[in-house]
Amino acid sequence: MPHKAEFPDIGDLVVCTVQNVKNFGAFVSLDEYGGKEGFIHVRDVATGWVKYIRDHVREGQKIVCKVLGVDTEKGHIDLSLKQVNDHQRREQIQEWKNEKKAEKLLEIVGTKIGKTLDVAYDEVGEKLVEEFGTLYSAFEEGAINPNALKDLGLDKKWLGAFLEVSKENIQLPSVMIDGMIEASVPGPDGVDHLKSALVLGLKSEEGGVNLHYVGAPRYRITVNAEDYKLAEDEMKSAVKRISTAVEKAGGTVTFKRKEEK
Residue where one domain finishes, among candidates 35, 65, 84: 84
Q: What is the CATH number of the domain that holds 159?
A: 1.10.150.190
Comparing CA positions, the residue from 86, 93, 78, 27 lying closest to residue 57 is 27
Based on the structure, what is the number of domains in the chain? 3
Q: What is the CATH number of the domain that holds 68?
A: 2.40.50.140
Element (H, E) at 235: helix 228-248
Q: Tens digit of pLDDT for each residue in 216-257?
A: 789 999 988 877 888 888 899 999 999 999 999 999 999 998
Query: What confidence score (pLDDT) does residue 261 get?
Result: 42
The β-bridge partners of 37 are: 29
Angle at which helix 228-248 crosses helix 190-202, to 10 degrees, equals 160
Residue where one domain finishes, among candidates 41, 63, 84: 84
Query: What is the reported pTM?
Result: 0.61
Q: What is the CATH number of the domain that holds 250?
A: 3.30.70.1130
Q: Tens digit of pLDDT for each residue in 18-38?
A: 999 999 999 999 998 988 999
C-alpha distance from residue 113 to each of 28, 110, 187 (Å)? 38, 5, 67
Query: What confidence score (pLDDT) does residue 245 get?
Result: 93
The β-bridge partners of 179 are: 221, 257
* Residues in Cβ contact with 49 at an 8 Å cutoff, skipping those fewer than 6 apart: none
* Residues in Cβ contact with 202 at an 8 Å cutoff, skipping those fewer than 6 apart: 209, 210, 211, 238
Domain that holds residue 207: 175-257
Query: What confidence score (pLDDT) does residue 123 get?
Result: 92
Between vectors from CA 95 to CA 92 and to CA 100, what angle results, nearest 5°? 125
Residue where one domain finishes, among candidates 30, 63, 84: 84
User: How many residues make up the chain in this entry?
Assistant: 261
Query: What confidence score (pLDDT) does residue 2 get?
Result: 47
Query: What confidence score (pLDDT) does residue 258 get?
Result: 72
Query: What confidence score (pLDDT) does residue 259 get?
Result: 55
Helix ranges (DSSP H) in 46-155: 86-112, 117-120, 126-132, 135-144, 146-150
Element (H, E) at 30: strand 25-30
Are 253 and 179 found together in one domain?
A: yes
- Would residue 41 count as lying in a domain? yes
Alpha-carbon torsion (34, 134, 17, 56), positive or negative = positive
Q: Report yes or no: 169 and 105 within 8 Å, Cβ to Cβ.
A: yes
SS3 50: coil
Residue numbers in the chain where pLDDT is lower than 70: 1-5, 173, 205-207, 259-261
- Would residue 200 count as lying in a domain? yes
